[in-house]
Amino acid sequence: MVGQFGLIAVGGIILGVAMGWITTQIQERLDDPMLELAMSLTTPFATYLLCEWLQVSGVLGIVVVGLYRSRWGHADLDPAYAELEARFDPVPKQSVPTLTLHGALDPVNLPVMSAGKEAYFTGPYVRRLIDGAGHFPQRERVADTTSAIVDWLRRHC
């Protein structure tokens, strides 16, 4: 019974990722705002129906498709915001002292995503990977995270 539940759950997750990728690829090629809106509104319903037809979790399917599209579904900026966007090109540099703690095992925001950001800072900047921690280093490696923060504060405050 547990195995069957697992298959149903994993099936919904896989289908959600697949539908997210497919619909994102299609939407990036559309040039009509109404079609883009229609796709955004119908994707969760289509994902749910397909999941149910395949007898996998429709709830997990729509959660995953929503997460995928919000994270990876890049869309062009509305021209109405072009002037505002121009203020951030090039990206402004931060002068405030900054400490970035990143879980070395983070499966959500891969450690490589926080690497090489020194150029965005003019003030003190430290990036530290917390060994053995995933997405929540402050929960998973409390002592290491606390020590990194205290050490950083002693040096920069």
- The β-bridge partners of 94 are 121
Identify residue 105 by its one-letter amino acid code.
L
Q: What distance lies between CA 106 and its chain's CA centroid?
A: 11
Within-domain flag for 85? no
Domain total in the chain: 2
**Which residues lie across from 23 on neighbouring strands?**
none
Is 113 a member of any domain? yes
Q: What is the mean pLDDT of residues 122-144?
A: 94
Q: Are residues 17 and 50 in the same domain?
A: yes
Cα gap 58→45, rounded to integer Å? 9
Residue 55 — pLDDT band, cuts 50, 70, 90?
Answer: very high
Q: 73 pLDDT band (50/70/90 cuts)?
A: low
Residue 92 lies in a domain: no
d(CA 157, CA 66): 41
Range 12-33 average pLDDT: 87
The token pair at 9 is 């759950």
Region 38-43 average pLDDT = 87
Are 60 and 12 in contact, with CB atoms under 8 Å apart? yes
Output the six-digit token pair for 86. 């121009």
Query: What is the spatial distance between Cα 135 and Cα 132, in angstroms, rounded to a whole number?
Result: 10
Identify whether 12 is part of a domain. yes
Are 71 and 26 members of one domain?
yes
**Closest to 46 (Cα-Cα) out of 75, 66, 31:** 66
Q: Residue 75 pLDDT more than 60?
A: no
